[in-house]
Structure 1
Amino acid sequence: MRKFWMILLILCFQLSSLMMFSVDALAQKDTLIIGKQDDTASLDPAKGYEAGAWVLLWQMYETLVTFEGDNYIKPVPGLAESWELSEDGKTWIFHIRKNTQFSTGNPVNADAVVYSLHRAIALANPSSWVLTQFGLTEQTITKIDEYTVQMMLNKPYAPELFLACLIPPVASILDPVIVKEHEQNNDWGSAWLEEHSAGSGPFVMGEQVRNKSYVLERNTFYQRGIPKFNRVIVKVVPEPVEQMLQLQERQIDVALNLQPDQVQELVNTQDIRIFDTLSFFFTFIGMNNAYPPLGNSNVRKAIRYAVDYDRIISNILQGTGEKIQTFIPKGLFGYWPETPYTHNIEKAKQLLVEAGYPEGFDVELKCLNYSPWIDLALQLKKNLGDIGIKVTINQGTGAKLMPELFSSRKEFQMYVWEWGFDYPDPDALAKSIAHSDSPGDDATIQAVAWWCNYVNLQTSKLVEQAASELDSDKRQALYRQIQEIILDDGPLAILYTQTYQHGVRSEVADRISFPSIIWVPFPILK
């Protein structure tokens, strides 16, 4: 699934090297040490498909286009200095930036671009659909000259959509010379890339101890900015409390995954600063329309009115969240800040009466077995209980719940989860939540709607129309219409988007910056 729990995050490190750093060494500020919660499954950019991988990959690799600062709406030149789109909307020409080198000193040119995108498509890993959804194949991506590449799509697509899909790590440009030297059994160098890097980004992979630490060393061939640190160490620290302690003891400079309790303990600490980062993820209740009560639109609406959104944000999140009820988050093209549902028990009860469930019904709610998910499930149980819906909570690990929720078996009635996108365009979310011509559609594309047995031919058609709309204003209007329908009738109740809080030691705080939403490389260039 495209769970990309794509959102904040950062770079790399290594535990054995970390043990050699004293306080005096840290004071030199040649090395930045970051603590983060999740590890990575793969460091091959054609395979890495989750935040833990992206944190590292974005530091070592570049793509043809990128974002600047915290503007996640307008793509800007990356390795491509410019591009053109044909009149029919199907042929793209990219002009590669000259005099750019990989960390090996080899040139970044059209051969490298064509090889890298061919490689991502040929490997056919789960993330490859981000490229192949446009009909791209090894035959439709071709070299025109040394610094010019042509891509031919199977039909016109919104320019913002296609460019956004050239930003995730799957579209990274690799050095074909060094990768080919390390191929094993036709693996396109994938095994070698788990331990090494072959990109043109500001850092290269150094030593690593999987599930413990990753060291990134400065790329001396990088010419588009100077890293503020010669080395970045990313340390895997699963427990937020441990991150706090290591931050206090100067074992790390940045703690990425603090919870409100830790923030409250640190907020008045003189040598530590707290940065807030609004995420692109939203938390929601998914409702299986195949379960008779939840197949009724008025029941789903009653559940949305029963939720006490303000209490969830103030008590469970301790203020580190923002109410959102539409599926395109703030900061993304198409955001619509409509929040019509309030905690209204009488309204919710009336809707249940109209739906034919005046006494309520029984329902199972699945959630992860740790905070804040357990607390959230308990709050929802109380809210729904107030309108007669009797909730049984079923807790489980991610390994247990994911096959039950995200498979063709659809073994759930309701669940609470977090969702984001694979690429920074509303199309990624609209396809997940509002497109499903029938329950048999491809789950890889249809995601939430498919899993929830939600079928809406109108929104499916609008999603396809928006993906191909070349006019930005018309496209924005289409996403507004889609969100209006889903807000009223859809298979989910969106609760909030969370604000992530990071602790940063004061001695490095002025040398790094946190935009309003972290999605692209950690901003540590001069």
Structure 2
Amino acid sequence: MSVTPRRLRGGALALAALAIVSSTAACTAGGSGGNSNSGTNTLTVNTSFVLKTLDPGRIYEATGLTAVHAMYDTLLTFKGSDVSKPVPALAESYQVSPDAKTFTFTLRSGVKFSDGTPLTADDVVFSLNRLKNIKGSPAVTVAGLTVDKKDERTVVVTSANPDPNVPVVLAMPSTGVVNSKVAKEHGAKDGADAAQGDTAQQYLDTNSLGSGPYVLKSYDPSSQVVLEANPNYWGEKPQFNRVVLRNMDVQTQKLTMQRADGAEIALDISGKLLDGLPDSLQTSGVQDTVYFLYLNADPAVSKVTSDPRFNQALRAAIDYQGIAALYGKGAAAGAGLVAPAFSGALPAAEESKRDVAKAKALLAEAGLTNPTVKFNYPAITYKGVDLGTVATKIQGDAAEAGIKLELNPQPLTTFLDEMRSAKSAMGFTPQSLNYPVADSLVNNMAPGQATALRSGWTVERADPSVVEAGKKVTSTLDLSARATAMQEWQRAMNLHSPYIVVASNSSTLVATSSLTGVEYSAAGWQVDLAAVGRK
């Protein structure tokens, strides 16, 4: 985290090429001046809305995750910017079996929903079963879990396979516990037929049935979401009685923060967009996104990119420090597929280095003279950086080694379609995690997995060392040892995979100087609204 003066599809991976839809919206909020709630006990949060629902069982988009985290308690949570280990929330303690299949949670006593109804183990079981069975976007995170009540204060979660990351899953906003009695009255179901029979989303979009520090006051997915403090909250009361999330494009966010003098936060200003902001503002950010190239390993698609020597030549040709500079504050040269925010990341000392002479030697060894490759990338700006600027830099670096990259900017949907078809010779995309479990990458990017197959990378085409390194990760149950195994997997991937990580970048919060507790979280909810207070 940096402090200046003060978004499981296929595991937990959110290939940011899918998530970057969030940056294409250009909605604006009414009024672009300073804090419209100055002088009141209101916290204003400006963000470009990525919002489809406030139903915790279906929530998947960034804006919704921020709001739902404030309205619904989960068994566990994360504190501040630390996503290395879950801490108690509704569960005052929990135990894990040696085989990492059984997780026993002891519920905190005295917790009430916002209507004053006591929260029970039955509510926890109902909520988690509903999440699993309505089969919304986040259901994949709990697909292998079963949930049972042992007694009034004990819930047992069982995983079909050993999985030490279950506690992390149960800290995600989608596992928020709903008032099951009221939810059922408005069409909620948790049985095997819930995907067809559950009709509670419309009600949950406009009413909150949680035990969190805030309740929903109003919901307009195109304009703003208003939260008010929960009078029956069991924990420490939030300092702000009211939170207003306003839909605002990033340029307007920057203009607003330049003039803000009240209690105000912007969620989308990062990278080069931070330049020019007043020194009086405070920022908090962590490197939670990596940017990588993918080369197709299928000779039928490209004889050039499928040659491992070309892969390593291009890897050696890139000026990683120069690329990191394009991203601005909070960026670093690429090291591995795990972003520095998460356990298992490679140390900064292992950032990739440029070696043009090595690149030329590898091309000569492969008999490749002035090889030419079409280079696809989405023609968008992401986190304040035009991806075309980065692609052009990579093109220039490659040219110095004798590699010709033909830039092919594409509309986002075209880029995604071609990438999914597995016919793209080379591409460039950001990547982030849906929840803070880096080893979920093995389930997506290892040879033969869904993302790998988009690059034609089958187990048969992979070096055996990569396959074995991936197996070591998934078979290791101790989380500290698993993080070490993840580092070894990334080192093998850097040598033999079709992915070249060029940079990591930070997501950043910008806030007025009067606020405390403004810490960016890579857990998905961006900022814990209830933790924000006044100095």
Match of 1:376 in 2: 390
Task: Normalising by structure 1, report the TM-score.
Answer: 0.86
> Does residue 1:172 correspond to 2:176, yes or no?
yes
2: CA distance between counterparts of 1:394 and 1:220? 55
Match of 1:191 in 2: 202
Q: What amino acid does structure 2 have at the position aligned with 1:450?
A: L
Match of 2:88 in 1: 77
Match of 1:459 in 2: 466
Change (3 A) 1:4 1:102: farther
2: CA distance between counterparts of 1:297 and 1:29? 61
Contact 1:367 1:393 in 2 (8 A): no
Match of 1:283 in 2: 291
Change (3 A) 1:237 1:4: farther
Match of 2:488 in 1: 481
> Does residue 1:274 correspond to 2:278, yes or no?
no
Match of 1:443 in 2: none
Match of 1:217 in 2: 228
Contact 1:15 1:209 in 2 (8 A): no
Q: Measure how far apart 1:308 and its partner are.
A: 1.2
> Does residue 1:141 correspond to 2:147, yes or no?
yes
2: CA distance between counterparts of 1:72 and 1:146? 30
1: CA distance between counterparts of 2:134 and 2:336? 35
Q: What amino acid does structure 1 have at the position aligned with 2:296?
A: N
* Within-5 A mapping of 1:63-462: 63-132=74-143, 135-136=144-145, 140-157=146-163, 159=164, 161-183=165-187, 186-238=197-249, 240-250=250-260, 253-260=264-271, 262-268=273-279, 272-290=280-298, 291-314=302-325, 316-337=326-347, 338-339=349-350, 341-370=352-381, 371-405=385-419, 407=420, 409-434=421-446, 436=447, 438=448, 446-455=449-458, 456=462, 458-462=465-469
Task: Output one character per residue of 1:11-47: Cα deviation in whole Å (capped at 9) or x when no partner.
Answer: xxx999x77x997973324111111123212222222
1: CA distance between counterparts of 2:466 and 2:404? 31
2: CA distance between counterparts of 1:244 and 1:142? 48
1: CA distance between counterparts of 2:519 and 2:15? 20
Q: Measure how far apart 1:451 and its partner are.
A: 1.6
Q: What amino acid does structure 2 have at the position aligned with 1:275?
A: T
Alignment counterpart, residue 517 of structure 2, candidates 504, 512, 518: 512
Task: Output one character per residue of 1:305-361: Cα deviation in whole Å (capped at 9) or x when no partner.
Answer: 1111111222x2234411232122223222221535322221111112222313322
Contact 1:313 1:321 in 2 (8 A): yes
Quick check: 331-340 or 296-305, which moved more?
Answer: 331-340
Task: Output one character per residue of 1:197-247: Cα deviation in whole Å (capped at 9) or x when no partner.
Answer: 222221122212222211111111112122121111111112x22112222
2: CA distance between counterparts of 1:281 and 1:234? 24
Where structure 1 has 5 or more consecutive residues not aligned to the other structure, the ranges are 439-445
2:206 match: secondary structure: coil
Task: Output one character per residue of 1:425-464: Cα deviation in whole Å (capped at 9) or x when no partner.
Answer: 2221222222x3x3xxxxxxx3432221223355345434
2: CA distance between counterparts of 1:480 and 1:32? 40
Contact 1:33 1:252 in 2 (8 A): yes
Quick check: 294-303 or 446-455, which moved more?
Answer: 446-455
The number of residue pairs the alignment matches comes to: 494
Q: What amino acid does structure 1 have at the position aligned with 2:444?
A: S
1:234 match: secondary structure: strand
2:253 match: secondary structure: helix
2: CA distance between counterparts of 1:266 and 1:90? 49
1: CA distance between counterparts of 2:205 and 2:474? 34
Q: Measure how far apart 1:465 and its partner are.
A: 4.0
2:344 match: secondary structure: coil
Identity across matched positions, percent: 24
Q: Measure how far apart 1:95 and its partner are.
A: 1.1
2: CA distance between counterparts of 1:32 and 1:467? 43
2: CA distance between counterparts of 1:298 and 1:50? 40
1: CA distance between counterparts of 2:484 and 2:271? 37
2: CA distance between counterparts of 1:343 and 1:88? 44
Change (3 A) 1:15 1:181: farther
2:148 match: secondary structure: strand
Quick check: 280-289 or 388-397, which moved more?
Answer: 388-397
1: CA distance between counterparts of 2:157 and 2:508? 40
Where structure 2 has 5 or more consecutive residues not aligned to the other structure, the ranges are 1-8, 189-195
Q: What amino acid does structure 2 have at the position aligned with 1:283?
A: Y
2: CA distance between counterparts of 1:247 and 1:318? 19
2:267 match: secondary structure: strand
Change (3 A) 1:523 1:193: closer
Q: What amino acid does structure 2 have at the position aligned with 1:402?
A: L
Q: What amino acid does structure 2 have at the position aligned with 1:246?
A: T
